[in-house]
Amino acid sequence: MRTPAMRMPLRVLLGWLSFVIGLGLAVAAAQVAEAYGFQREAIQIILAVVTTGVSVPLIYLLRKYADRKPWSGLGLSSPPQGLAYLLKGAGLLLLSTGITLLTGLVFGWIKVVGVQIPAETLLAMMINLLIAFFYEAFPEELAFRGYIFQNLNTKLPSWLALITQVLLFILAPLAIIAGLVAAGIGSWDAVTWEYVLTLAVFGTALQLSRILSGNLWMCIGYHLAWLEMVRYIVVPDSGAIIEVEYLSRNGYYLIHIGTIVLSIIILLVWSRRGKLRPLNWMSKAADD
C-alpha cells in the first residue's frame, strides 16, 4: 500500500528548513573560508554551491517522498520553455526601475551623476549573475514561491497562502542572523524596518509573478534583475552603469522599495488587461 503524503503544515516546515539549512551551512562555510584567507570571489562561489547543493536536493526529496507529487507541480518548466518568462520578469523590474528613477529626478530626490558602461562592470555583472542565480534566485524561488507556496495553496486560498509565504520568507534570514548571533559571530544591526519592509514587498511581488504567470522562471528573472540593479545599474558608485546621488532619503526609498511596489501594481494591471492570468484571491491550487 502506498504511504500517504505528509500533512501540509509539516511539509511547509520541512521546505522552509531545507532553505534555511542550506543557507545557514553556506554562511558557515563562507565564515570558515574567510578565516582561512580565501578571496572574495572564492567565498561567493562557496555560498552559491553550498546553498543550491543543499537546498535544491532537499526540496526535490520532499516533493518526491513527502508530497508524493510530480516536480512539474512547482511551476518550474525546462529552461528553454521558461526563457520568455525569465525575460518578462527581468523586463518588469527594469520597467519599474526606469519609472521610479524618472519620478525621483522629477521630484528632485535623485541626481544622475553619470551614465557609462564600464567593461569591468559588465564583466562583474556576468560573473555575479551566475553566482546570484545559484546562491539566491534559484534556491529561494524554488523553496518559497515554488514548494512552500504550492503546499500552502492546496489548503489555503491564494491571498492567505501569499501572506504566509511572505512571513516565512522574512523569518528565514532572521533565523540565520539569530544563529550567527547565538554563535557570537553576528549582530542584529542589519535588521531594520527598511530591511523587513523590503523583504515583505519583494516576497509579494515575486509570489504574484508566480501566481499570475504560472511559471517560476518569471520570479527568477525578476529576482536576478533586482540583484543586478541594486549592485551595478542604479547605484551611488563611480563604477555603476547609472551613477546616482540620493539628494533625499525619499530617493533611496523610491528606488529600493518604490520600484517593487510599482512592480506589484503593474502585475495587477497586466492581470486585469489579460496579459497575465486573471487573479482570483480565493482560488486554491490543484494538489498535484
Across the chain, what does the average pLDDT equal? Answer: 95
Among 154-168, 178-192, 222-236, 255-269, the least confident range = 178-192
Please give the share of the chain, as a percent, with pLDDT higher than 70.
98
pTM value is 0.95
144: left (phi over 0), alpha (psi -120 to 50) or beta: alpha
* Interval 81-106 mean pLDDT: 98
What is the rounded distance in angstroms from the CA atom of residue 163 to the CA atom of residue 148? 12
3-state secondary structure of 157: coil
What is the rounded distance in angstroms from the CA atom of residue 99 to the CA atom of residue 84? 22
3-state secondary structure of 215: coil
Among 167-176, 182-191, 228-237, 238-247, the least confident range = 182-191
Can you give the pLDDT at residue 1?
46
pLDDT digits (tens, 9 = 90+) for 14-57: 999 999 999 999 999 999 999 999 999 999 999 999 999 999 99
Can you give the pLDDT at residue 187?
87
Instruction: Please name the residue ranges forming H helices in 229-258.
Output: 249-253
Is 5's pLDDT higher than 90? no
Can you give the pLDDT at residue 70?
92
pLDDT digits (tens, 9 = 90+) for 152-209: 999 999 999 999 999 999 999 999 999 989 888 888 998 999 999 999 999 999 999 9
Going by DSSP bridges, is the β-strand pair 242-246/234-235 parallel, antiparallel, or unpaired?
parallel
Please give the share of the chain, as a percent, with pLDDT higher than 90.
92
* Interval 244-249 mean pLDDT: 97
Number of CB atoms found within 10 A of residue 201's CB: 18
Rg of the chain, C-alpha, whole Å: 19
pLDDT digits (tens, 9 = 90+) for 160-173: 999 999 999 999 99
Q: Which cell numbers in the block locate residue 272? A: 486585469
* Interval 106-123 mean pLDDT: 95
Q: Which cell numbers in the block locate residue 122? A: 559588465
Is 274's pLDDT higher than 80? yes
Can you give the pLDDT at residue 183?
84
